């Protein structure tokens, strides 16, 4: 273990982007708490695959404030310190406005905002005392291209990620005097298990054609951006939102 090894909590790290982020931190010598909502076997598999030692798993339904507090405190306690929080956990629930019942509409909004936005806000609130005790650190939020271009079939998802962007920038201002940087990464489509049905189906070629590179992002490319925002070299980029969408959506 490196003497400068950091304690890192990655939410939603049992698969996809979160797992790639966990591996990126571990590869550079950090100790990682792999969070999962309801996938203990997958989380344990990710933790076992990480380079180095001192890794662990924590569980919490991100929509449950008490569970989030317990998971953050447990991660910090078992790691011995907490230097980095990555808010990656999220849900993507289809609820097309013109073909969804009012009851399903409400359920989708409640679950999506509770997990994607309130969950990240609560994890941040609970992590800040630990980050301050460690002398500062970083919080990195994983947002989405959908926060800017919209998500017509999943409007709650787009709204939750837009809220995450605004929340991250507010916290960047509040936490800077305490040596804590807050940054955000906004991916487009990423080659993950969650996106497999779309990418392997009839819409796949159209999705890949959205980028002039003719492909979607790899999870490792998103992880690289997260890793940089969490680095000491990125402290003065606090408040930034980095697009990782292969120029598939350009914003001014």
How would you class 2 by CB atoms within 10 Å of its CB: exposed for 0-12, middle for 13-18, buried for 19 or more? exposed
- Residue 108 to residue 114: CA distance in whole angstroms: 10
Sheet holding 180-187, edge to edge: 56-59, 31-36, 7-10, 84-87, 137-142, 180-187, 241-244
Measured distance CA(15)–CA(193) in Å, rounded: 8
Catalytic: 157? yes
Q: Which of 18, 114, 124, 157 is catalytic?
A: 157
Q: How many Cα neighbours within 13 Å face the side chain of 198? A: 11
Active site residues: 157
């Amino acid at each position: 273990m490196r003497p400068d090894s950091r304690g890192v909590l990655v939410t939603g790290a049992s698969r996809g982007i979160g797992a790639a982020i966990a591996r990126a931190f571990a590869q550079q010598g950090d100790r990682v708490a792999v969070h999962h909502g309801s996938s203990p076997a997958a989380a344990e598999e990710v933790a076992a695959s990480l380079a180095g030692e001192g890794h662990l798993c924590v569980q919490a339904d991100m929509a449950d404030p008490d569970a989030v507090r317990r998971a953050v405190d447990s991660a910090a306690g078992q790691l011995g310190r907490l230097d980095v929080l990555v808010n990656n956990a999220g849900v993507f629930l289809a609820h097309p406005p013109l073909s969804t019942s009012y009851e399903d509409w409400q359920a989708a909004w409640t679950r999506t905002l509770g997990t994607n936005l309130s969950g990240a806000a609560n994890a941040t609130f609970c992590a800040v005392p630990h980050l301050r005790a460690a002398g500062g650190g970083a919080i990195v939020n994983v947002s989405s291209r959908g926060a800017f271009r919209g998500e017509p079939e999943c409007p709650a998802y787009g709204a939750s990620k837009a809220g995450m962007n605004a929340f991250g920038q507010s916290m960047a201002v509040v936490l800077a005097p305490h040596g804590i940087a807050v940054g955000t990464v906004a991916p487009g489509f990423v080659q993950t298990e969650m996106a497999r049905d779309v990418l392997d189906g009839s819409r796949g070629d159209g999705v890949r054609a959205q980028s002039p590179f003719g492909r979607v992002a790899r999870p490792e490319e998103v992880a690289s951006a997260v890793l940089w925002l969490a680095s000491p070299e990125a402290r003065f980029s606090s408040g930034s939102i980095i697009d990782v969408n292969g120029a598939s959506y350009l914003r001014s």
